[in-house]
Structure 1
Amino acid sequence: MVTGPERAPVIRTPDQRIRVFVSSTLRELADEREAVRSAVERLRLAPVMFELGARPHPPRDLYRSYLAQSDVFIGIYGASYGWIAPDEDVSGLEDEYNLAPAGMPKLIYVKDTDTRDERLKDLIARIQADDTAAYLHFHDARDLEDHVAGDLAMLLAERFDESRAPEAPDTGAAQVSLVGRVPVPYTTTIGREGDIDAVRTLLARGTDRVVSLIGPGGIGKSRLAIESAMASGDLFPDGVYFVLLEGVLEPGLLLPTIAYYLGIRDNGEAALEERIAHALADRRVLIVLDNFEQIVDAAPVLVRLYTVAPTATFLVTSRIVLRIRGERVYDVPPLTTPAGEGPASLDRTARSAAVSLFVDRARAIDSQFDVTPDNARDLADICRRLEGLPLAIELAAAKVRILNPAQIAGRLEKSLPLLTAAVRDLPERHRTMRATIDWSVSLLPPEQRDLLEDLGVFATRFTLDAVEALGEDRPWGGHAIDALAALADGSLVKQSELGGRRVFSLLAIVREYALDHLKERGDAQRVRRAHADYYRGLVQQIAPDLGGRGQADAVARLGLELPNLRAAVRHLVYTNRLDDAGDFAWCLLIYWWISGFFAEVRVWMLELLEKQHEQPITPHTRAIAWFFALWGEMWQRPSEQVVAGLGECVRLFRESGDEDAAAMALAARATARVQFSHLDTDKAEAELREAVVTLRERGNTWAEAITEVSLGRLAWVRGATDDALAHFDRATSVAESRGDLFTTSVAGNLRSRLNFQLGRIEEAEREFVHTLLLSVGLHYEEGVAYGLEGVCAVAAAHGEAWRASALAVAAGEIRRRIGIFDVEAFTVHTPYLEILRGRDAQSVEAGEIAGAELTVAEAVQLALPEHEFSMVADALRAW
């Protein structure tokens, strides 16, 4: 089996913080653990600790999973070897060291003490002989904190040097690969060990198709889902995917959104539900669906999905129960608060989870903050009054910048009862959460309050440029940076880095709060207009690059902005700017095509058509809307009505004076004709040729090249191979002249397959390799699958049974995972594989077994010559 490329250590962005696993006995070394936590967080890293409230010996699977998610191991050893659980041979302390991956950096600190358990002495002696571990003695907690901070800083500096490469990998490609991954929490998770264990147990049973984490906003459903997914990775060998539904408001967008996060490209050629079912078939995957309550009407879709994909499990977060078959509800409890009416405990190991959370978040502001005899009662009162709601506690803790605990407690005592009384229509804990946000916002000056409410129009994340554009005529407009910083300090706005850019976000319940207040003051429509105008301008700026040399960067930039592109279209439709919505969608036609979002756009365009009676639309907008509405029908359910509908689009575009769009609609109409069992190929060819001429005259090289590809496919099906090659050649020439990598890859894959079928093996091999390189550069997995199959065909023709069969299975795994099918007429590798199977069945079988285990990077390495692979090795590290 081919091994993957060596991975150089990487320096992560803040949204991928380095995780430091801390191993020690709990009670004996409580002060030392707190010192290590402080050192780790001082460097803005994420400590991974089974801390206060945890059981003495966490389940082995749980800390194994946390170790797998961590990057650095820190061991702190004192006098005690620790408890040995029933049926175990070693303590959790030694087991954690044994389970730490061999390549993980290990920093070991041994406390000077007069006595030490014999088994701990043996463990330390073994560690001293381990040349992968760094080993130091320390005297007390303060001494330890200095050691840890210094050693981690040194380790990061070394890793930074090692991570340098002559050329940085493409950030756009790297960003695409992050889609669907479980996000790493920005802060430490406290008090959820029992819940994580309980959810993992539900997932492990395998009897519940949907596990729903139910609770009010701010109770920590998303955080519990993240931690549970991380702790359950070993249960789902085929992957864990995190699908953020926060900006998805239409039930019809559930399937397109799931497809996007699974990496399934929707080009309209097959029903999206069928593609997802194909991608999930026989795969043991966990799909986390976060913030489901806003599209709860789409819940029956999950039943259809788990029916066709019975090995997939869904972990859902929602404020309300889905009430579907196969659902297991887990009510997310609040954090524990101090019992009775007593003060918070001064003993860290006996502290309630709510108080521990308050102290942890307060220390981000004041590193010396702790429970003292003076503030213990106030902290207990705060946590009880906030009912153990994690977000409410974080908002209150953020106020230690300006208020002490007594002042916070006093203000909550006065404000909270009045505020909760004003929102009696909400469930009890939801009232408390909303009231806490209200109290937190009430402490802001008016400009910052106005900014927070205006930010409610943004989707999942947003940039400073977008905020400043929104504020051009707002009171806070000239102070956006300072105001954003103040909101971040108050935990109302989150900051992170994505694709090399600083981005901001609001938690779902804060966004909901902000938007409600924006509506109450009557400004929602005006701010939505400003939001939509900014993103209209942005796409008009980016769109010209989609058909040319800036294609890869343009696709990556639009991918980062996708949640707000959705919101902008929604704002345009909602405010009856229907013609603007149509132009917005048409402007991004190439992006929808390359990225596969046709089903999503169709939802918006059908909504637009339904609103015609409220706001008349132009013939051009009607043509755009019908074009997108008919696109999927053209491939999946072709009929005379679809052909007639696309013909109407041609007429409307021509009447509007848009010959360019009319030619594209004409090409689509021809494609619809070809889908019939009674092929009207002569008429289809005539329409495609007419479209090519018009598009060439209009200078629309991207559409011209794509239409030449369609002509080539049609000629191939008709048996006119010379004509097919000529069309593929012209498509490639036109695409390459503009730097259109996507169409170059599509045309090249078809041309190389046809050349191979015609016996031109060497020529086909060169182009298979070239298009494979292009597809890797674009992070275009469908193209990678085609390229691997092409090289597989060449290897099979040369009698390389093991290599050919390994590549075939690896390509098939990609196809299955992203839900793509192929037209039998264009498949060239399978006949040769069957011949090899008859000649050398043993090698073919061995290759198939190996191919099923290959990563994408390993498969590409197996396919490419060494000097070619070195060109894309960096890009593949992000896959």
Structure 2
Amino acid sequence: MPDDHSRAGCETLAEILSRHVGGRKQIDVARNAGLPRATLNRWLRSASDAPYHREGLLRLLAALQLSRAQASRALRAAGLPTIDALAADPELSALVARWRVRAPNNLPADLTSFIGREDEVTNLAEQLSDPAVRLVALTGAGGSGKTRLSLRVARELFDVFTDGVTFVALANVRDPGQVLPAIGAALGLAETAGASPAVRVTAWLAPRHALLVLDNLEQVIDCGPALAALLRSAPRLTILATSRVPLAISGEHRWPVRPFAVPSPDLPFEKLASSPAVELFTQRARAADPAFTLTAATAPDMAALCARLDGLPLAIELVAARIGDFSLPDLVATVPDPLDLASDGPRDVALRHRALRETIAWSERLLPITAQQLFASLGVLHGFDESLAAGVGKGPSVAAEAIPDLLATLADASLIERVGDDSAPHYRMLATIREYALERLDALGEHEAAAARHASAMLALAEDAPPYVPKATRAGWFQHIDRERANIDAALDWAQSTGDSLLLARLASALWPYWLEYPLGRIGYHWVTTALEHADDLPARVRAELLTGASHFELTFNSHDLAYAHATEALALWQKINDPVGQAHIFATLGWARATTDGPREAFTMFQWQLEQWQAADNELGIAAALNDIVMLLIAIGEFDTALPYLRQQREIAQRTGDPLSQSHALHNIGLHALLRGDIPTALRELGEAVTTLEALRPTFLTTTSKLYLATAQCLAGQLDTAEAGYRELLKLHERTGDHWQQSLAILGHAAVAHRRGQAERAAWLCGVASTLQHDSGLTPMPAVQAFYERELTLLRAQISDEAFAAAFARGAAVPTNEALGVVLGPVDG
């Protein structure tokens, strides 16, 4: 245990201030804080017998450059309110603003108030503020409050980890190899071709001063070496983990999270009422029964009850939820005593485990039989709504129409938690409680049946997708699938583990558009190819969908030959079952696979056939999609005149259907067509409208591409500041995605701005940076865009000698990517 676990509770303000003043001259410290030297001297000698001057103390803490955690310790020692409480005073809000910064974060909102552990929060926050401390593991029994403590500490560290605080929920992750992908997903990192999750996560975190909060690490404890490697590669990264067991890797600082101290029933009422265990019980009891009041007469019973529960916060909350059904003396008599139960193993750990398990069992036994049966079935779920609960939990004794009331009963008993708003309630079950529910399900012999119902429910959701065109009609389905991603993953795992190859194939064939859209290409490709490998006699439509999905993923990975092979096989199946929509999709894939290999003519033919299939299906939005592919290809190869009639048709259909995505594609193509022909006013107008329309939709690749070309049009129009701001926005975005190709295009935009400002050497340096990024991406520009950039390069080289250009270009090409991005996104010289 760290030496300073209890320091906050015993250090005086004088000791705290003296430690931070250190060897500095008092007169300098006092001057910086705007304090009389005598006042500082008195505070350092603990000679103040009057309340501390709040404004003066806050100025001193700021002058000493204390972190929020350090300032909080000093304020508590001075007997003053918390930073957040002081911020409510208009006269003090500016003084505490430095400690109320909000770093980028994804921390979940607290559903209930945080009680107790003030000293632990302060000590942990101070420890994590130390650059020498890279990994802290909060260890303890289930239900001891590790997650709540980690979140509270993380909120105290926004002023320290200014590049971001990221919460990574791992309760539903079972494979240690999926920990880094889970971190990447929590960071919002998109997949990129050829980059593993470890590479993407490391590249993003390497230059950043960031904190990762890894929750429920015990079931993937073998990920320790991967985390150690991540810490070595990202020198300013710190990890705060919660786990029932230590990680056992180098540099780990272990912090045992113990249950609340249990007060003696003989203490005065005021001390009993203010003890964390009793305060937690009181608050949660009032949530269940607003009329509940703690009195001097009932306080000893509550203290005895908390002692029986061994001070475990989760056990206390479960029992408090039953206050409407029992009096306190009845609860004391009813709740099982873990000391009465035989057990092997370390006594303190065993007692805490038994206390929690028996409390959950006691709470469950109080439920109606139907609620008990539903509770056990819900153990197979990873979060759920009423519909999913009904799909998995209904049975001979649990009617579907009873599910809403039974869920309310379970929520009232604190066995499940309600999250989300009232219009779309969603529920979750804490990992510790879920373990018990699964035990009960096993005891009932219902685990396999419940898991099968779960997988069937996920299949029904997956196959309930609207038509693939228009894509906008799938927005709600995409969101629903994304919300149920943990359940989807569990269904896929179950199908694979039980050898149900048809179920696995149907799931993967229905889900590939979601994996492609979000994007989760590596995960999707794994499941699609796994399904293809393990199913010999699939229905033709299912196999065709799998092959179509595989070819789409392979296109995104730049595996064009493999994409063409799978698409060719898929086409034969779509033709066999006479499905024009399937044929249309696959002709699009075949076209783009050939556009970069055998040349554009074959691609143009494929797109024409795609158009014919959509026309045969009488699908106007499909026709618009085919026209979009044709126009994009013709623009790419510089056949601007040939593109015009198709472009007009695309715009007419988009306007007629009113589909915003189709309209955006048309606006983008018209704008790019104008930009490459030198019609800058038209490019500004059309691309500007495309960006406005796209920003109202879910962000897509088209959004960023339209923004890139709009910034280029602004640059050519002389709107250099606006263009530079656009390029900076894109560069920051693609720094997160790790897309080297898109980064290179944004940097070339910066180069165009620089040379128009007369900064030819900087522009040449930027061209060198971009060349390395393009080489790393393995991609080449489409011919028309390449010609555009070559014209820009010719203009630049006219401003600078060949020798100076070559030298600056070489310097840029040699700079590491992270360093180059830091320079580009920093202040512009000149």
- Distance in 1 (alpha carbons) for counterparts of 2:601 and 2:90: 79
Identify the residue that residue 242 of structure 1 maps to in structure 2.
167
Instruction: Give the letter aligned to residue 519 of structure 1.
Output: D
- Distance in 2 (alpha carbons) for counterparts of 1:423 and 1:580: 45
Identify the residue that residue 753 of structure 1 maps to in structure 2.
672
- Distance in 2 (alpha carbons) for counterparts of 1:768 and 1:530: 49
Any residues of structure 2 matched to 1:402-421 within 5 Å, and which? 402-414=325-337, 417-418=340-341
Q: CA deviation at 1:391?
A: 0.7
Does the aligned pair in 1 maintain the 2:563–2:589 contact within 8 Å?
A: no
User: Structure 2 vs 1, CA of residues 229 and 254 (structure 1 numbering), >3 Å: closer, same or farther?
Assistant: same
2:198 pairs with 1:198: no
Does the aligned pair in 1 maintain the 2:105–2:164 contact within 8 Å?
A: no
Identify the residue that residue 257 of structure 2 maps to in structure 1.
332
**Could you say what secondary structure the match of 1:243 adopts?**
strand
Q: Which has the larger radius of gyration?
A: 2
Does the aligned pair in 1 maintain the 2:184–2:201 contact within 8 Å?
A: yes
- Distance in 1 (alpha carbons) for counterparts of 2:448 and 2:590: 38
Does the aligned pair in 2 maintain the 1:424–1:431 contact within 8 Å?
A: no
**Could you say what secondary structure the match of 1:794 adopts?**
helix
- Distance in 2 (alpha carbons) for counterparts of 1:680 and 1:840: 36
- Distance in 2 (alpha carbons) for counterparts of 1:129 and 1:395: 40
2:811 pairs with 1:811: no
Q: CA deviation at 1:736?
A: 5.8
- Distance in 2 (alpha carbons) for counterparts of 1:128 and 1:424: 49
- Distance in 2 (alpha carbons) for counterparts of 1:646 and 1:304: 39
User: Structure 2 vs 1, CA of residues 56 and 752 (structure 1 numbering), >3 Å: closer, same or farther?
Assistant: farther
**Could you say what secondary structure the match of 2:420 adopts?**
strand
User: Structure 2 vs 1, CA of residues 423 and 131 (structure 1 numbering), >3 Å: closer, same or farther?
Assistant: closer
Instruction: Give the letter aligned to residue 528 of structure 1.
Output: A
Does the aligned pair in 1 maintain the 2:308–2:338 contact within 8 Å?
A: no
Any residues of structure 2 matched to 1:673-712 within 5 Å, and which? 673-674=594-595, 680-698=599-617, 705=624, 708-712=627-631
Instruction: Give the letter aligned to residue 443 of structure 1.
Output: L
User: Structure 2 vs 1, CA of residues 534 and 59 (structure 1 numbering), >3 Å: closer, same or farther?
Assistant: farther
- Distance in 1 (alpha carbons) for counterparts of 2:642 and 2:347: 73
Task: Tell me which of 283, 308, 317 is aligned to 1:385.
Answer: 308
Instruction: Give the letter aligned to residue 693 of structure 1.
Output: E
Task: Tell me which of 364, 389, 392 is aligned to 1:467.
Answer: 389
TM-score between the two structures when normalised by the length of structure 1: 0.68
Any residues of structure 2 matched to 1:427-576 within 5 Å, and which? 429-460=352-383, 462-477=384-399, 478-498=401-421, 500-544=423-467, 547=470, 550-574=473-497, 576=499
Does the aligned pair in 2 maintain the 1:345–1:351 contact within 8 Å?
A: no
Identify the residue that residue 33 of structure 1 maps to in structure 2.
none
- Distance in 1 (alpha carbons) for counterparts of 2:381 and 2:424: 17
Q: CA deviation at 1:590?
A: 3.8
Deviations 1:72-130 (A, max 9, x none): xxxxxxxxxxxx9759998496689999xxxxxxxxxxxxxxxxx9x99xxxxx99997
Q: CA deviation at 1:227?
A: 1.0
Task: Tell me which of 146, 150, 164 is aligned to 1:221.
Answer: 146
Q: Which moved more, 1:798-807 or 1:631-640?
A: 631-640
Identify the residue that residue 79 of structure 1 maps to in structure 2.
none
User: Structure 2 vs 1, CA of residues 681 and 841 (structure 1 numbering), >3 Å: closer, same or farther?
Assistant: closer
User: Structure 2 vs 1, CA of residues 223 and 132 (structure 1 numbering), >3 Å: closer, same or farther?
Assistant: closer
- Distance in 1 (alpha carbons) for counterparts of 2:707 and 2:91: 42
- Distance in 2 (alpha carbons) for counterparts of 1:481 and 1:735: 43
2:588 pairs with 1:667: yes
Instruction: Give the letter aligned to residue 815 of structure 1.
Output: H
2:756 pairs with 1:836: yes
TM-score between the two structures when normalised by the length of structure 2: 0.72
- Distance in 2 (alpha carbons) for counterparts of 1:289 and 1:621: 38
Task: Tell me which of 645, 665, 681 is aligned to 1:762.
Answer: 681
Identify the residue that residue 848 of structure 1 maps to in structure 2.
none
Does the aligned pair in 1 maintain the 2:272–2:303 contact within 8 Å?
A: no
Q: CA deviation at 1:569?
A: 4.0
Q: CA deviation at 1:514?
A: 1.4
**Could you say what secondary structure the match of 1:237 adopts?**
coil
Q: CA deviation at 1:476?
A: 3.1
Q: CA deviation at 1:441?
A: 1.0
Q: CA deviation at 1:586?
A: 3.4
Q: CA deviation at 1:369?
A: 4.6
**Could you say what secondary structure the match of 1:473 adopts?**
coil
Identify the residue that residue 394 of structure 1 maps to in structure 2.
317
User: Structure 2 vs 1, CA of residues 466 and 712 (structure 1 numbering), >3 Å: closer, same or farther?
Assistant: same
Task: Tell me which of 630, 638, 663 is aligned to 2:559.
Answer: 638
- Distance in 1 (alpha carbons) for counterparts of 2:446 and 2:691: 51
Instruction: Give the letter aligned to residue 664 of structure 1.
Output: H
Q: Which moved more, 1:249-258 or 1:86-95?
A: 86-95
- Distance in 2 (alpha carbons) for counterparts of 1:821 and 1:373: 67
Deviations 1:357-380 (A, max 9, x none): 222222323456565554444433
User: Structure 2 vs 1, CA of residues 622 and 252 (structure 1 numbering), >3 Å: closer, same or farther?
Assistant: farther
Deviations 1:584-609 (A, max 9, x none): 44334443333212223234335545
- Distance in 2 (alpha carbons) for counterparts of 1:653 and 1:86: 83
**Could you say what secondary structure the match of 2:335 adopts?**
helix
**Could you say what secondary structure the match of 2:425 adopts?**
strand
Instruction: Give the letter aligned to residue 171 of structure 2.
Output: E
Identify the residue that residue 569 of structure 2 maps to in structure 1.
648
Q: Which moved more, 1:492-501 or 1:566-575?
A: 566-575
User: Structure 2 vs 1, CA of residues 422 and 336 (structure 1 numbering), >3 Å: closer, same or farther?
Assistant: closer
**Could you say what secondary structure the match of 1:399 adopts?**
coil
Q: CA deviation at 1:508?
A: 1.8
- Distance in 1 (alpha carbons) for counterparts of 2:613 and 2:166: 44
What RMSD in Å do the two structures reach over aligned CA positions?
A: 4.7
Does the aligned pair in 2 maintain the 1:291–1:317 contact within 8 Å?
A: yes
Structure 1 regions of 5+ residues with no counterpart? 1-51, 61-83, 100-116, 121-125, 134-177, 843-879
- Distance in 1 (alpha carbons) for counterparts of 2:586 and 2:229: 34
Instruction: Give the letter aligned to residue 389 of structure 2.
Output: V
- Distance in 2 (alpha carbons) for counterparts of 1:721 and 1:314: 54
Q: CA deviation at 1:452?
A: 1.0
Q: Which moved more, 1:295-304 or 1:480-489?
A: 295-304
Deviations 1:798-840 (A, max 9, x none): 3233332223212322222344444589768445313333179
Instruction: Give the letter aligned to residue 811 of structure 1.
Output: L
**Could you say what secondary structure the match of 2:108 adopts?**
coil
Does the aligned pair in 1 maintain the 2:680–2:717 contact within 8 Å?
A: no
Q: CA deviation at 1:686?
A: 3.6
**Could you say what secondary structure the match of 1:216 adopts?**
coil
Q: CA deviation at 1:397?
A: 1.8
Instruction: Give the letter aligned to residue 466 of structure 1.
Output: L
- Distance in 2 (alpha carbons) for counterparts of 1:813 and 1:305: 22
Instruction: Give the letter aligned to residue 368 of structure 2.
Output: P
Q: Which moved more, 1:196-205 or 1:570-579?
A: 570-579
Identify the residue that residue 850 of structure 1 maps to in structure 2.
none
Instruction: Give the letter aligned to residue 451 of structure 1.
Output: L
Deviations 1:538-578 (A, max 9, x none): 44445338725545444444444444444444455455554
Any residues of structure 2 matched to 1:41-52 within 5 Å, and which? none
Any residues of structure 2 matched to 1:228-267 within 5 Å, and which? 228-251=153-176, 253-266=178-191
